[in-house]
Amino acid sequence: MASKRGANDPDRRDRIIRAALEVIGEVGVHETTHRRIAARAEVPLGSLTYYFDGLADILQQSFAALAARMSAQYREALESATTRAEASDAVVDLICGGSYASPGDVRALFEMYAYGNYDETVRVLCRDWLLVSRSSLGLHFSEPTARALDALVEGWPMHQAWEQEPLDRAIAAATVDAIVQRFEGASA
């Protein structure tokens, strides 16, 4: 399906990346094709090879865009906290709130993690994202606490996706509090 936006479409590359993430989130990396991405982005198929060096490049750049967007949201949530208690609440929001990761984002993240097992560029991207997340948590928490909380933020959405039911916010808050108390001690 060709776009009516014309050859001088300054948003085309970003639209292709957004479309790729939507397709990945719907059908997985293994079913993502140039044709599906082009159709979703409403661009000619040739546009993909104009902007990218193949499907692997599209996947890598799409995952990089996803990680950058979500890292910024993660960082913003923790930067806005002025106390450790507010930071703990922000962590609970990252786990339970829908504003951090939509269901499509979570599926795309699962695909990114899996693809990172086979693609060195995405593996490095996943590692770097982990370090950025810990750095954001490090604004308020020690390194051991940041590691434990980040594992919680990353892992709980997987459980929610498989269980297909919302997480009880009180359970998440109690778990975050237990981790903070365990590693930060009385100062928490």
For 95, the domain range is: 67-187
Read off the CATH number of the domain in which 180 is found: 1.10.357.10
pTM of the complete model: 0.88
Give the count of domains, the chain: 2
3-class DSSP string for the chain: CCCCCCCCCCCHHHHHHHHHHHHHHHHCHHHCCHHHHHHHHCCCHHHHHHHCCCHHHHHHHHHHHHHHHHHHHHHHHHHCCCCHHHHHHHHHHHHHCCCCCCHHHHHHHHHHHHHHCCCHHHHHHHHHHHHHHHHHHCCCCCHHHHHHHHHHHHHHHHHHHHHCCCCCHHHHHHHHHHHHHHHHHHHC
Tens digit of pLDDT at every position of the chain (188 positions)? 444 455 567 899 999 999 999 999 999 999 999 999 999 999 999 999 999 999 999 999 999 999 999 999 999 999 999 999 999 999 999 998 766 778 888 889 999 999 999 999 999 999 999 999 999 999 999 999 999 999 999 888 888 878 888 788 999 999 999 999 999 985 55
* 168 is a domain residue: yes
Read off the CATH number of the domain in which 36 is found: 1.10.10.60
